Amino acid sequence: MDSTVTKRWLLARLYEPEQTIVDCRFTLGKPQEGKERYNKEHIPGAVYLDLELDLSAPVGGHGGRHPLPDTQVLASRLSKLGIGNDTRIVAYDDENGMNAARLWWLLRYLGHEQVYILEGGFSQWKEGKYPVTDHQPVRVPSSFVANVRPQMLAGVEEVREVSAKTVNNAGAETGSDVNVADAVPTLPVLIDSRAKDRYQGMNETLDKKAGHIPGALNYFWKNTQNADGSFKSADELAAHFAGLDKEAEIIVYCGSGVTACPNVLALEKAGYKNVRLYAGSWSDWISYEDNPVATGDE
């Protein structure tokens, strides 16, 4: 089954007891807004998970702006919401899927495969005249046991090594969203998921340094989606990522590890099997003063 579901698919299964719907709406810079919107109206039966309080750990010296949450703390939170290891989870947001994709990635990192993202998010659900409510469900606690998959992560030390290898072995000029068929096939690939101007170091409003990790290619995460917020088809995504060797190791990052998650999903949908997340991403990278910074196009 695909990692996304349609509104019609969810409507047909809206009240199935083995399913939990999770509202992940969140607005950067306005941390209360997502929960307020949930309290006002949400998909019937949905519970709420906060990007910064539930799906991230407190910010420290390293780890980026949205460090990964402690796995046992998250497992306990899921258990209290009635989510167990056999629960099917459907996540949604109103931010083009970026927060829902964070939950999608985290759950798979915890060993849970039955997790999906609602295409189009809450606004399209409501605009389609599908049911909404302000009633908050009473949840019977369950037991979620984490089976962590560390192989899904790449740490800063490994990213340093991949960056250095990429720069040292660069034999062909590559750039943003271009065909990289001439790159060394076995060379690991770093993908920067941010908008082009941030990747180039031209417009940085969130982090203290501008630019990108040397050697990284720019594939803006929103380019994996259609105008209505749904993800492109597998064939369209394969064309989008054309030139990347499907056997190569791919490490994906963004500003803080959130918008990289839709790119991870898109790469997997396009048939890439060896995709990992640099969770701390750019905001973690620049927390180490000795890490090099590149600007412009690669």
Q: What residue type is assigned to position 110 of the chain?
A: L
Q: What residue type is assigned to position 161 of the chain?
A: E
Count of CA atoms in the C-beta half-sphere (13 A) of 280: 21
Catalytic residues: 254
DSSP states of 229-248: SPBPPHHHHHHHTTTS-TTS
Beta bridge partner(s), residue 89: 20, 115
Query: What region does 220 belong to: left with phi over 0, alpha with psi -120 to 50, or beta?
Result: beta
Q: Secondary structure of the chain: what % helix, strand, coil (to 5)?
A: 30, 15, 55
